[in-house]
Structure 1
Amino acid sequence: MKKLLSLLLVCNICILNAQKKPKLVVGIVVDQMRYDYLLRFNDKFGSKGFNKLIENGTTYENGHYNYIPTYTAVGHTSVYTGTTPKNHGIVGNNWYDKFEQKSIYVVDDANYKTVGSESKEGQKSPYRLIASTIADQLKVAQDFKGKSIGIAIKDRSAILPVGHTADVAYWFDGANNGKWITSSYYTDKLPNWVNLYNTENKLKLDEYLASPWVTSKKIEDYTECTTDHNYFEGTFHNEDKPIFPHNLPSLKEKNGNYSLLKSTPFGNTMTLDFAKQIIKNEELGKDKTNSDFLAVSLSSTDYIGHKYGPASVEIEDTYIRLNKDLDDFISYLNSKVGNENYVLFLTADHAVVQVPHYLIDHKAPGGYFSNRELQKKLIDFTFKKYKSTKLIENISNNQIFLNRKEIGLLTLNIETLENELIEVLINYKDIHKAVSAHTLQRTEFTRAPLSLVQEGYNQKLSGDIIFTLEPTIISNGYVKGGTTHGTGYNYDTHVPIIFYGGNIAKGKAIKKPVSITQIAPTISNILKIQEPNMSSLDILIEVFEKDKE
């Protein structure tokens, strides 16, 4: 009888634990992290960091972005809103605004002022985001109690995840400032503890810049990458070769002073260090009634990946260092919040393609594409056909915006013009697909890449024609070194999705294809709140399914 009562008591405790919502949710987005980094660097990670999350959490091995374009602002927004650009309104980092007829930056907002420095880097807000995020929904569900905070080196990566209702978002103001700042959208002044932290942290930032960036292990042990010196890698200003050691003290002045830290692994270290201070000073996870939310984005991986590419020694060293920083952060959460009191998810905002020159050198396809040459080709066509050089208003983000005023003056049929231009595009070197806005509005595509284009097409904001490039073709802006992302190919869409902590199922590796837009409804379910207003409703149920003992 005693044994039966004991078993019933254990079962009841399990049920209560399963129903208990976390006191804190931590979202970590590693900027530009390919899924295969978890496999390539697995041995270097040991039992810490990423492997600790995998061993004690639920990992989705086949998680993908389900739209084009795969850019930073779009990725962060899609993770936290649970929907795609066609709905949430964030269609790029920068995009051509056809109403204002100029290029705009996603979070620029002159209505607000910088808080924390004298620069203009804080004139930002989330006003262009039209969907709610998980953090917004948590605020609403708790009558705007509990805290919601975003942090990243990049302003867009701090602001967009926590949406409209956040208590605050912080980003890094480099140059000569070296401070964490915010916008008057959130507050009129920094908390006293942040001011104190900024002052004391300057000494640590100076320490990072006082010594060269050297590999954390012996360079001959870096066997998961190519050789260190390659012509197709970028360099810092005033640096002759892209090789270790990178002499930060001599590079500081010519590379934006404290901004130089963004393109080193120490940018991730200082971000996670500040995140720890936020948890401590804001007492996140300590409210007995309400849950808190912390969105952390690690931006330096993107800066380094763009400059050196995914096969570089720099990327391997960056992830080895990040693994240690991540392990320290997990340990901090466990000690300050309690490992059963928080839920953490980790993903990426996009991945990245190998440097085309690197591929070409090994006889694999790759190349570079010029928007300027394409624009000249299209203008030549419209001049020969219609005696006008004004029909093409803008080409950016693989989209063509047509000049409505000129079309009206020439009394042209816009759909006829679209189709004629598509015929030119599809016969143009390195272009894979082209589709008009009218076709996207009338047809539902079910297969990539056009289905991904459709998910990224916003009827109000996007261009009149969208085109995609062939695999491993990137902008010729990178022809002198480095690489980029933005496509719907697997090298840009395949990212980690890991859930950890609280009552998350442990040691599960799920191989079925899943989408990053499933993260938001899953976290919403864990928090027992309404999912974001435009979110997918497709929950990742495996995080709740524990193996029978």
Structure 2
Amino acid sequence: MRPSWLKTSLTLITCATLWLPGPASAAQPPRPATVATQVKPPKLVVVMVIDGLPSEQVQRYRDQFGPGGLRRLLEQGASFTDAHQAHGITVTAVGHSAVLTGAYPYRHGIIGNNWIAPDGRQVYCTEDTRYHYIDEDTDAHDGTSPANLRVDTLGDQLRYASGNRSKVVTVSGKDRGAILLAGKTGTAYMYMDKTGDFATSTYYMDQYPAWAERFRAAKPQDRYYAKSWTPLLDDKAYADDAPYPAATTSSPNRFPFTFYSESGKPASDYYVRLKKSPAVDALTLEFAEAAVDGERLGSNPTGATDLLGVSLSGHDYVNHAYGPESRMSHDHLQQVDRQIARFFTFLDKRVGMDNVLVVLTADHGFANTAEFARTQHADALRVNPKALLDTLDAQLAERFGVARLVKTSLLPEIHLDYAAIERRGLARADVENAAARFLLAQPGIAEVFTRTQLEQGVASKSRLGTLMQRAWNRALSGDLLVVTTPYTIFSSGTSGASHGTPWQYDTSVPLLIMGKRWIRPGEQAGYAEVVDIAPTLAQILHVRRPAGAEGRALTEALR
């Protein structure tokens, strides 16, 4: 007896044979051609990243959002409620790299904001001394190019498919936020701490276009001088927020926050203060609007699709300073919501929102401050990195009789001195395991993964291990990856919050996609990852996926 699948196959073959055309004399009247309706790609794709925005904040504060910003995305777009930055070292550079490469850190090569190179030199993710900022001071480790990004992006594929007619422009309060969204062939602009201007580097061009020169000359950043950040909503709206953290001379931790300089006029310290407030995000969106007009984004005369990347950095700075449970974080998100609404109104006038596809996500989530977490009965600690590493080094010296086997470290990564280990005739795995055992016995340490485990792939037997495996690059990463217990952070300070772990609060981020012609509105409860964004956009835009992309197209949200 033939299996059922074979019967089906034979039937299909037979049917196909019956429809083969015969000789011309016996041909049947031609059947009308069936043409599949293909929706034209959007004129403009806007990819927005809110730096340091946990998914839970979007859900917790959603009833307070205005009608045109985040609420519009939630109601008119597809909202993925279980979306993640699915790698273990959840920091800004790594998260931004995932958005448009569709790749994990082991592949795209951006393993942190900073890392230790094989020669022992500390590397900043977007540094490149071959280039400098245009008309701005440039330090050796300033971000000036995407050279360290080892794969291409969706924007690069878009430009390739259009014969470079598509424009890709990105802007951010952080250089890494702009550069890693722009990819290899886009153009990135970033906020300058010393001047408050938005600048680019000689990697992208030799001089600014006229529209950017006009924006810089107008000095919009100076209008905030001597003004204050005050809460947007009534006091009762913030009633459930955590109490204010203790005030200090340098950080009053109280509204209103006044923007000033010690010199009495706009200067570097004033421009840095703007970053820890809604002001930096308002300026970023204003520059984005200037780019839309100046570059005619969404009105490309060739008909090609353009891409605008906008990374809003203020929320990360606010959360670091005060914690995501604070009134400041709560209000900041409300302020950003209204700013996004105004930006959408602008896009509607310039391009028409029916012609625009919007993606909004975050580069990472955030842990609550350790002090607040303890009020919720979490065993949250602040682990002093130097003390931990010094003690580890001493323990290894006592165990193996070799001093300074800890070569260097940028936690959560630790580099061992393999040359010294081999000279002494020791086995690498023995030293790694001894280090791991010691670290696991310390308060606040949950897991330690060794190079031997990671090289053999045995770390990925759990979800946490899988996330750390994805975060580890064989050529660039350390020999030990250390994971703290939940809500514990590496910190020598006594205040502030952080991120960077594989725990849910750091990986869980919003993922909202809105576009009337391409996206089916509604809440999506299924699992999704930020690396799914690039494949999804590639499908909508009919372009090739980025080379390193490992995500999937979110077809459940497509029309």
TM over 0.5: yes
Given that residues 116 and 180 in structure 1 are in contact (C-alpha distance below 8 angstroms), is that contact kept between their aligned partners in structure 2?
no
Counterpart position of 1:110: 129
| Cα separation, 2, equivalents of 1:191 and 1:73 | 27
Given that residues 518 and 540 in structure 2 are in contact (C-alpha distance below 8 angstroms), is that contact kept between their aligned partners in structure 1?
no
1:103 maps to amino acid: Q
Q: Say which one has the larger Rg.
A: 2
Structure 1 gap ranges (5+): 1-10
Q: CA-to-partner distance for each residue in 1:407-465, whole Å, 9 max, x for gaps?
A: 23212211221122222222222211112112122135242211111111111111112
Written as runs of structure 1 = structure 2, the 5 A alignment for 1:153-302 is 153-166=173-186, 168-175=187-194, 177-200=195-218, 202=219, 204-227=220-243, 229-231=244-246, 238-239=250-251, 241-249=252-260, 256-287=269-300, 288-302=302-316
The alpha-carbon deviation at position 344 of structure 1 amounts to 0.9
* Closer/same/farther in 2, CA of residues 304 and 251 from structure 1, 3 Å limit: farther
The alpha-carbon deviation at position 502 of structure 1 amounts to 4.3
Find the residue that maps to 2:509 and give its secondary structure: strand
2:176 maps to amino acid: R
Find the residue that maps to 1:513 and give its secondary structure: strand
Counterpart position of 1:499: 513
Do structure 1's residue 454 and structure 2's residue 473 form an aligned pair? no
The alpha-carbon deviation at position 341 of structure 1 amounts to 1.5
| Cα separation, 2, equivalents of 1:502 and 1:184 | 38
Do structure 1's residue 402 and structure 2's residue 416 form an aligned pair? yes
Given that residues 82 and 534 in structure 1 are in contact (C-alpha distance below 8 angstroms), is that contact kept between their aligned partners in structure 2?
yes
Do structure 1's residue 388 and structure 2's residue 405 form an aligned pair? no
Find the residue that maps to 2:169 and give its secondary structure: strand
| Cα separation, 2, equivalents of 1:481 and 1:255 | 24
Given candidates 352, 370, 377, the residue that maps to 2:391 is: 377
1:280 maps to amino acid: D
CA RMSD of aligned residues (A): 2.0
Given that residues 122 and 183 in structure 1 are in contact (C-alpha distance below 8 angstroms), is that contact kept between their aligned partners in structure 2?
no
| Cα separation, 2, equivalents of 1:22 and 1:182 | 27
Counterpart position of 1:350: 364
281-290 vs 150-159, greater mean Cα deviation: 281-290
| Cα separation, 1, equivalents of 2:365 and 2:262 | 28
The alpha-carbon deviation at position 376 of structure 1 amounts to 1.8
- Provide the identity percentage: 29
1:367 maps to amino acid: L
* Closer/same/farther in 2, CA of residues 537 and 300 from structure 1, 3 Å limit: closer
Q: CA-to-partner distance for each residue in 1:467-515, whole Å, 9 max, x for gaps?
A: 21110101223x4211000011111011100101242334310001111
1:538 maps to amino acid: R
Structure 2 gap ranges (5+): 1-33
Find the residue that maps to 1:340 and give its secondary structure: helix
* Closer/same/farther in 2, CA of residues 431 and 252 from structure 1, 3 Å limit: farther
Counterpart position of 2:109: 89
| TM-score, scaled to structure 2 | 0.89
| Cα separation, 1, equivalents of 2:263 and 2:111 | 34
Counterpart position of 2:6: none
State the aligned residue count.
Answer: 521
Given that residues 520 and 558 in structure 2 are in contact (C-alpha distance below 8 angstroms), is that contact kept between their aligned partners in structure 1?
no
Q: CA-to-partner distance for each residue in 1:239-259, whole Å, 9 max, x for gaps?
A: 4x3111112236786971212
Written as runs of structure 1 = structure 2, the 5 A alignment for 1:407-446 is 407-444=421-458, 445-446=460-461
* Closer/same/farther in 2, CA of residues 447 and 23 from structure 1, 3 Å limit: same
Counterpart position of 1:54: 74
Find the residue that maps to 1:318 and give its secondary structure: helix
| Cα separation, 2, equivalents of 1:339 and 1:245 | 35
Given that residues 170 and 179 in structure 2 are in contact (C-alpha distance below 8 angstroms), is that contact kept between their aligned partners in structure 1?
yes
Q: CA-to-partner distance for each residue in 1:325-362, whole Å, 9 max, x for gaps?
A: 10111111121111221211000000100111012234
| Cα separation, 1, equivalents of 2:170 and 2:527 | 29
Q: CA-to-partner distance for each residue in 1:180-202, whole Å, 9 max, x for gaps?
A: 111100000111221111111x2
| TM-score, scaled to structure 1 | 0.91
* Closer/same/farther in 2, CA of residues 524 and 373 from structure 1, 3 Å limit: same
